[in-house]
Amino acid sequence: MLTKKLTREYDNFIENLFFLTEQNHINFFKASNLRKKNISQIVELENTKPKQDPSISNYDYADFLDDFNQLYDQIEYQDKSLWLPSNANFIYLMSLYENFLSQTIKLLIKHDKHIQEKYMQKYQGDAEELNKKGNRELIKDIRNTQKCIENIDLLTIPQYKKYINHLLGLHHKDPAYLKHNNFYIEARERSNLFKHRGTEIDDKFEKSLTENLASEGDKNNKYSKKLIKFARTFSRPLRKKWIGGKKGCEHKRDKKSGCVNCSAKFKTPIGRDLSVNPSYFEHSASTIFFLSSVIYRTAFNIANKNSKDQPNLNKEHDFMCKMGIDFNRLSGYVIPLQINTYSRNHLQFKPDDVENVNYFLCTNNILERKLDLKLKTAKINDIKDDKEISVLTKSRDHFFQNINDNNIKDIVTSYIKKNYEDYLSLGLKVANRKTHLADWFMTKDLLKSTKFKKLFKQLNNS
**Domain contains 446:** yes
pLDDT at position 381 is 59
Neighbours of 112 (CB within 10 A): 18
Question: Would you say 290 and 183 are in contact if contact means Cβ atoms under 8 Å apart?
Answer: no
CA distance 36 to 123: 55
**Domain contains 271:** no
**Domain contains 321:** no
pLDDT under 70: residue ranges of the chain: 46, 48-62, 64-65, 72, 77-78, 81, 254-256, 306, 376-385, 461-462
CA distance 335 to 331: 6
pLDDT at position 43 is 74
The CA-based dihedral angle spanning residues 185, 292, 125, 209, taken in that order and rounded to the nearest 10 degrees: 0
Neighbours of 44 (CB within 10 A): 10
Domain count, the chain: 1
Question: Tell me: the pLDDT tens digits for 254-266?
Answer: 656 788 888 888 8
Amino acid identity, position 367: L
pLDDT at position 58 is 52
**Domain contains 444:** yes
**Domain contains 440:** yes
Question: Tell me: the pLDDT tens digits for 46-69?
Answer: 676 666 555 555 556 667 667 777
Question: Would you say 81 and 114 are in contact if contact means Cβ atoms under 8 Å apart?
Answer: no
pLDDT at position 318 is 96
Neighbours of 394 (CB within 10 A): 10
pLDDT at position 50 is 64
Nearest to 257 by CA among 274, 269, 270, 240: 240
CA distance 289 to 323: 11
**Domain contains 160:** no
Range of the domain at 450: 416-462
Apex 444 CA angle, 440 and 448, nearest 5: 160
Which 3 state secondary structure label does DSSP give 259?
Answer: strand
CA distance 163 to 127: 13
**Domain contains 210:** no
Question: Would you say 214 and 254 are in contact if contact means Cβ atoms under 8 Å apart?
Answer: no
Question: Tell me: the pLDDT tens digits for 318-364?
Answer: 999 999 999 999 999 999 999 999 999 998 788 889 999 999 999 99
Q: What are phi and psi of 437, to 5 degrees?
A: -60, -35
Query: Which stretches within 217-330 are classed as H helix?
Result: 222-233, 278-304, 314-319
Say what angle helices 450-458 and 420-431 make with each other, to 10 degrees: 40
pLDDT at position 321 is 96
Rounded to two decimals, the pTM is 0.87
Amino acid identity, position 377: T
Give how far the C-alpha of residue 25 lies from the chain's centroid of Cα atoms, to the nearest Å: 11
User: How many alpha carbons lie under 13 Å from residue 292 in its C-beta half-sphere?
Assistant: 34
**Domain contains 448:** yes
